[in-house]
Amino acid sequence: MRIVHVSDCYAPRVGGIESQVEDLAAHQVQRGHAVHVLTATAAEAGTESTVGRYRESVTQASGVRLHRMASPMTFGLPVHPRGRALVRRALQVLDPDVVHVHAGVVSPFAYDGARAARALGLPVALTWHCMLDGVEPLLALGSRAMGWRQAPVALSAVSGVAAERVAAALGRTDVSVVPNGLDLTPWRAVAARGERPPSGSGPLRVVATQRLAPRKRAVPLVRTVIEAAEQLGPDGAGRPRIHLTVAGGGPAEHGVRTEVASAGAEEVVTVLGRVPRPTLPTLYRDQDVFLTSSTLEAFGIAALEARAAGLAVVAQAGTGVSEFVEDGREGFLVRGDEAATQALVRLAEDREQLAGIRSHNSSEPPPMSWADVIGRAERVYARAREAVGLPGSG
């Protein structure tokens, strides 16, 4: 099968649409598919190219054929003033069996790709990687104006809660779930090592791995742990009974560091900055709990990685984390920051419960292996082809 992915962004990062599209495409190549990616993201400055960092077609080491369609007019940002025409021309040349469009809250290039593919009568699979809270009315208006409510496309989202928003906005009942995937091997290796100190010794070790952005609520996350430290009080040696390690960079990093300094919580919180994704299993090996405060988490790939590594997970209820965390079994799904604080205090004080959650997560892998995810994606592709009158398999 010839598969073309269309994504605004395509650059290695910790989590997000970018890494998921990259990993999905690479695993599809391994299964024998011919895979192309169209993106409006410019290559990093200094990248060697015969055309330049804005326009290039290269074959990656994974075998994925990457086509960059960035514009210097937008300084390489993932939007192109002629995006729809460029995608249309590329699709006419590539003649794919299916076009898989990956959309976020604001995805102009992805939507250009969906419209171009639909105009050509190609099978279209459209996946949302976001929560549509706050933009549902706008999407509803746009879908009615452009005829997406009855369009012959296969719709999906990365979690059940995200799919509910898409279905409500588009007035459709055929939105399926194609979750994010994960290569479980490095994370399960960490879960099997069991090198942490015995239950009850040392502080509760909490880790948060995320892009430090206001939407992810990075500063409230730090406050949650500082409040837990205050409620727990120091141990017999005067040291904090909980410690948070924050891995990630972004626009809220300064605010996070300022919050730590102003609270005098340098012993409670360590901010590492951006950490390369391949080193995260090593970081998780020395942690007990993964914490996220995001209330708009469509899936939560970082939480899934931590869950696969055997950590207990504390996350907000009503988010995509509920796809692989059941409250009280793999961790806690809470409502609000105060409830998150109480969950951390509970785990710090009840080490038997923590050990039970950790043991379960270490012995039971989450059901998001790439084999499962690709199987779900192929079923969506079959729906997309059948919607335009073609056989389900390419």
β-sheet with 2-7: strand ranges across: 55-59, 65-69, 34-39, 2-7, 98-103, 124-128, 154-157, 175-177
User: Which one is predicted more confidently, 31 or 141?
Assistant: 31
pLDDT tens per residue across span 1-39: 999 999 987 754 444 677 889 999 999 999 999 999 999
CA distance 57 to 46: 16
Confidence of residue 43 (pLDDT cuts 50, 70, 90): confident
Q: Are 10 and 16 in contact (CB under 8 A)?
A: no
- Which tops the pLDDT comparison, 232 or 144? 232
pLDDT in tens, 153-163: 999 999 999 99
Amino acid at 265: A
DSSP assignments along 332-347, one per residue: EEESSHHHHHHHHHHH
Annotate 173-197 with DSSP letters as a single string. Answer: S-EEE----B--HHHHHHHHH--SP
pLDDT attached to residue 75: 62
The whole-angstrom separation of Cα 142 and Cα 144 is 5
pLDDT above 80: residue 54: no
Give me 93's structure tokens: 């040349």
Q: Which residue has the tokens 């779930």?
A: 177
Tens-digit pLDDT profile for residues 352-373? 999 999 999 999 999 888 999 9
Tell me: the pLDDT tens digits for 97-140? 999 999 988 788 999 999 999 999 999 999 999 998 777 777 77
Domain 185-363, second-level architecture: 3-Layer(aba) Sandwich (3.40)
In the predicted structure, residue 277 carries a pLDDT above the cut 70: yes
Residue 146 scores a pLDDT above 80: no
User: Which residue ranges make up each domain of the chain?
Assistant: 2-181+370-387, 185-363
Please report the pLDDT score of residue 76 as a whole number. Answer: 57
Are 2-181+370-387 and 185-363 equal in CATH topology? Answer: yes
Based on DSSP, count helices (H) and strands (E) in the chain, helices before strands.
13, 14
Residue listed under structure tokens 């021309």: 89
Q: 2-181+370-387: what CATH class?
A: alpha beta
Confidence of residue 260 (pLDDT cuts 50, 70, 90): very high
Question: What one-letter code names the amino acid at 289?
Answer: V
Q: What are the two backbone dihedrals, phi and then psi, of residue 390, each rounded to the nearest 5 degrees?
A: -105, 160
Q: What is the pLDDT of residue 157?
A: 96
CA atoms within 13 A on the CB side of 49: 18
User: Do residues 53 and 128 touch, judged by C-beta distance below 8 A?
Assistant: no
Q: Please say if the pLDDT value at position 47 is more than 60.
A: no
Task: Check the CA dihedral 354-360-363-367 and report its sign.
Answer: negative
- Candidates 120, 123, 115, 164; CA nearest to 142 is 115
Q: Which residue has the higher pLDDT, 48 or 335?
A: 335
Interval 188-234: pLDDT, tens: 998 887 555 555 568 999 999 998 988 899 999 999 999 999 999 99
